[in-house]
Amino acid sequence: MVFCGLFPLEADQFEELREALGRLQLNDAALKFEPESSSAMGFGFRCGFLGLLHMEIVQERLEREYNLNLIITAPSVVYRVNCSNNETVECSNPSLLPEPGKRRSIEEPYVKIELLTPKDYIGPIMELGQERRGEFKEMNYITENRAKLTYMLPLAEMVGDFFDQLKSRSKGYASMEYSVVGYRVSDLVKLDIQINGEPVEALSTIVHKEKAYTVGRALTQKLKELIPRQMFKIPIQACIGAKVIASEALSAIRKDVLSKCY
């Protein structure tokens, strides 16, 4: 249900990563992986997990038991793409998404999520649900001081930092339980990241159209902080198709020839 890319920090660790994943798969039938290559990250694997906890456990085991240094892409879910030729394609990797002219609609998985919280934190938690495109269903008081909120929520909005936000907004008191209920058609787009005019597939993501600008702006600003400066200017752009929606530029390193004069 949750997919991400695993790439070794050093290219010569690729075979070690393949062997380590094969050993873990022997006693973990839920772990799936297939080779993947990226112009920015090199050779790695696209891995499938049962959830975020499963992903974190596999990551920790690879790093501790096999001494691997890994780069992990943002987790994503499986989308269903209804194509114009009446075919339905399941897409777990944004790079495999059909072109806009070949698809009619994109469906994303939804979950029914139940949030248990003390009544003092109902307001912040309802605000969190609205921010994550949640559809409010009902609220029941279990006891005088404890309530249960029920939402229909896109799984893609939950696999990020939803649980961390839930804990921080309730000071650790709230808890949650969820179950997958099916797929729904949503207004989704593929957000591409271009560095110096070259698309980086590993950073591509599928987002809701209303959130595309916010996600694109955050990605470009973060990449500007992380990418080392060069002797030339490097533009960093977030694009939907050919349209640039957010842009940053990494300034060139210039030699200060007058620094010794003062």
Regarding whether 30 and 54 lie in a shared domain, the answer is yes
- Supply the pTM of this predicted model: 0.73
Q: How far apart are CA 68 and CA 59, in angstroms?
A: 9
Token pair in block for residue 247: 């842009």
Of 114, 111, 84, the residue nearest 98 (C-alpha)? 84
Q: Is the pLDDT score of 41 beyond 80?
A: no
- Which class for 129: exposed (0-12), middle (13-18), buried (19 or more C-beta within 10 A)? buried
Per residue in 236-248, pLDDT (tens digit) is 999 988 888 888 8
Give the residue-averaged pLDDT of 152-172: 87
The string over 91-121, giving b where at least 16 C-beta atoms fall within 10 Å of a residue's C-beta and e elsewhere, is bbbbeebbeeeebeebbbbbbbbbbbbeeeb
Q: Examine residue 202 and state whether it is found in any structural domain, yes or no.
A: yes
Q: Is the pLDDT score of 6 beyond 70?
A: yes
Q: Examine residue 231 and state whether it is found in any structural domain, yes or no.
A: yes
Regarding whether 179 and 244 lie in a shared domain, the answer is no
Number of domains in the chain: 3
Q: Is the pLDDT score of 201 beyond 70?
A: yes
Give the residue-averaged pLDDT of 213-222: 89
Give the residue-averaged pLDDT of 190-197: 88
Regarding whether 223 and 245 lie in a shared domain, the answer is yes
Confidence of residue 39 (pLDDT cuts 50, 70, 90): low
Range of the domain at 182: 106-186
Greatest mean pLDDT among 4-13, 51-60, 121-130, 249-258: 121-130
Give the residue-averaged pLDDT of 79-85: 88
Q: Examine residue 256 and state whether it is found in any structural domain, yes or no.
A: no
The CA distances from residue 6 to 47, 59, 142, 201, 214, in Å, are 7, 9, 42, 14, 26
Q: What's residue 140's pLDDT? A: 92
Average pLDDT, the chain: 86
Confidence of residue 27 (pLDDT cuts 50, 70, 90): confident
